[in-house]
Amino acid sequence: MIRSNTSSGCIFCNIINGKAPCWKVYEDNLVIAFFDIHPEAEGHILVVPKKHFKDIFDVEEKYIKRAAVVCKRLSLALNKALGIKDINIIHGSGKNAQQDVFHFHMHIWPRRKGDTIKLQYVPQKGIPPRFDILLERIKKYIPQPNN
C-alpha cells in the first residue's frame, strides 16, 4: 500500500491508510475504488489515487490515466453485475466545481431511467464567436505528448 504524500486530515488518505472504513470495490498499486458513503445512485463508486493530489491541476498523469482505466473496467462490471447501461463519469476540481473532498477523485454514477440525478448544461451564446481568440490563448500552454 502506498502511504506517501498523504494529508492527515483527508478522509480519502485515511481510507487508503486503513484509518477509516470503506466498502472497497477495487484496489491496485496506484488507485483504490470504493462505494461513495453518500451515493447519488446504487453502485455509485469513487476512484481515488492512493497518493494525495488536491485536484486535476495537481494529479500526476500516471494516476489519472490509471483512474480512467479503472473507471472503464468498473463501468463494465456494473453493466454485467447490475445491468447498468448508462453511466456518468464525473470529476470536479475546486469549490466552484462542487469538489468537497480535496483529494483528486472520479465518480462513477450508474444511471437509470427516472433517476433523480440532474446534470444540466446551459450553452453560453457569447462564447463561440470568441473561439479563435480562445484557441490562440490556450494552445501556447498545451504541453506536447511524450509518447
Please give the positions annotated as active site.
105
Residues in the chain: 147
**Which residues, in sequence order, are CB contacts of 49 under 8 Å at separation 6+?**
30, 31, 59, 63, 64, 66, 67, 103, 104, 105
The DSSP bridge pattern shows strands 86-90 and 45-49 to be unpaired
pLDDT tens digits, 20-74:
999 999 999 999 999 999 999 999 999 999 999 999 999 999 999 999 999 999 9
- Quote the pTM value: 0.89
Q: Give domain limits for the chain.
A: 11-119
Q: At the fourth CATH level, which superfamily is domain 11-119?
A: HIT-like (3.30.428.10)
